[in-house]
């Protein structure tokens, strides 16, 4: 399955429903308002009338789906999903969603011993205490491969 399909499956059903209703709302509004207010529009060919009714709602439909995606994705990453959903809704022009993609945390990782999902960067599993990554012998914080000293307390790693 492609990555795009996998990510699409994250969008919750209520978001699809809301997006559909948003599009329908814009469709009905565009069918009623411009054709009533502007007599010139009434003389447009059918294709033009349909385009003016159908197209403006599409970005709003996609926006609603993206907000649903942000909600589910932030939840699975252990982030503050309510806050991110609100930011996605209230920061205009989808800038909140762009910020989300720039600032989102890495995916939670399964502990190889107990399978619990834990945050990226932990040295030990908070559920079973199993080692997840190399840890500093002094302060027990995670150290990266290739480090000769702990970045937190300066303890030589190889001397441990």
Question: Which x/- pattern over 18-37 shows residues binding other proteins (rule: CB under 8 A)?
Answer: --------x--xx--xx--x
Please tell me the count of residues contacting other proteins according to CB under 8 A: 43
121 makes contact with other proteins (CB under 8 A): yes
CA distance 50 to 31: 8
Q: Where are the alpha helices (DSSP H) in the chain?
A: 3-8, 13-37, 39-42, 46-54, 57-76, 81-90, 95-103
For the chain, the first-to-last Cα distance in angstroms comes to 45
93 makes contact with other proteins (CB under 8 A): yes
The least distance separating other proteins from the CB of residue 14, rounded to whole angstroms, comes to: 21
Query: Which of the residues 54 through 73 are near other proteins (CB under 8 A)?
Result: 56, 59-60, 62-63, 66
CA distance 154 to 14: 50
- As beta bridge partners, residue 131 has 124
CA distance 2 to 142: 33
The least distance separating other proteins from the CB of residue 32, rounded to whole angstroms, comes to: 11
Where do contacts with other proteins occur on this chain (CB under 8 A)?
A: 3, 7, 26, 29-30, 33-34, 37, 56, 59-60, 62-63, 66, 87, 91-99, 101-104, 106-107, 109-110, 112-113, 119-122, 130-133, 141
């Amino acid at each position: 399955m492609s990555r795009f399909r996998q990510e699409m499956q994250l969008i919750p059903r209520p978001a699809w429903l809301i997006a559909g209703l948003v599009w329908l709302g814009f469709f009905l509004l565009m069918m009623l308002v411009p054709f009533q207010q502007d007599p010139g529009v009434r003389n447009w060919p059918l294709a033009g009338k349909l385009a003016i009714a159908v197209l403006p709602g599409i970005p709003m439909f996609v926006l609603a789906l993206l907000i649903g995606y942000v909600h589910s994705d932030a939840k699975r990453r252990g982030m503050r999903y309510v806050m991110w959903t609100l930011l996605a809704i209230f920061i205009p022009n989808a800038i909140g969603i762009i910020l989300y993609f720039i600032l989102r945390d890495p995916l939670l990782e399964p502990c190889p011993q107990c399978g619990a999902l834990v945050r990226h960067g932990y040295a030990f599993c908070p559920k079973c205490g199993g080692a997840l990554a190399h840890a500093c012998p002094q302060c027990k914080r995670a150290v990266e491969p290739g480090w000769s000293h702990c970045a937190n307390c300066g303890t030589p790693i190889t001397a441990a």
